[in-house]
Amino acid sequence: MNAIIDAVINRPDTVAYPFGELELPEGFRGAIVIDPEKCNGCGLCVRDCPTDGLKLEKRSRDEFKLIHYPARCAYCSQCEQSCPRDAIGHSNALVGATERPRELVVVLKEKNGSKG
């Protein structure tokens, strides 16, 4: 009975989102981001990803494509810990929900030949 009275008198403990701005905590692991200048396509992030959320399509040493699959990603930060060049990490941005996960696929870096 006290819980009902408390709920009527006091403000709710929930956040205002989606009717107000969402405040994410410090250290929130959101969307995967990459510094294209640092990434050399070594593939350690792909090798260590426990959910196969990253894929490296390598055509040669100088030609590769790093792809992120957000629907598979556990946002565990293993890719960030595995990267020896600190090229990959997390932003504070939410990855939106969708009924079509293929629409979320992101090419993080594409390198063709000697170009970046």
Query: What domains sit in the chain, N to C, each tagged with a CATH number?
Result: 29-111 (3.30.70.3270)
The pLDDT confidence band at residue 1, using thresholds 50, 70 and 90, is low
% of the chain surpassing 90 pLDDT: 56
| Cα–Cα dist 81/75, whole Å | 12
Q: What confidence tens digit (pLDDT) does each residue in 9-60 have?
A: 887 667 676 777 777 788 888 899 999 999 999 999 999 999 999 999 999 8
Query: Comparing C-alpha atoms, which of 95, 49, 47 is closest to residue 70?
Result: 95
Residue 115 has pLDDT above 60, yes or no: no
Average pLDDT over residues 69-75: 93
So what's the pLDDT on residue 8?
79
So what's the pLDDT on residue 6?
80
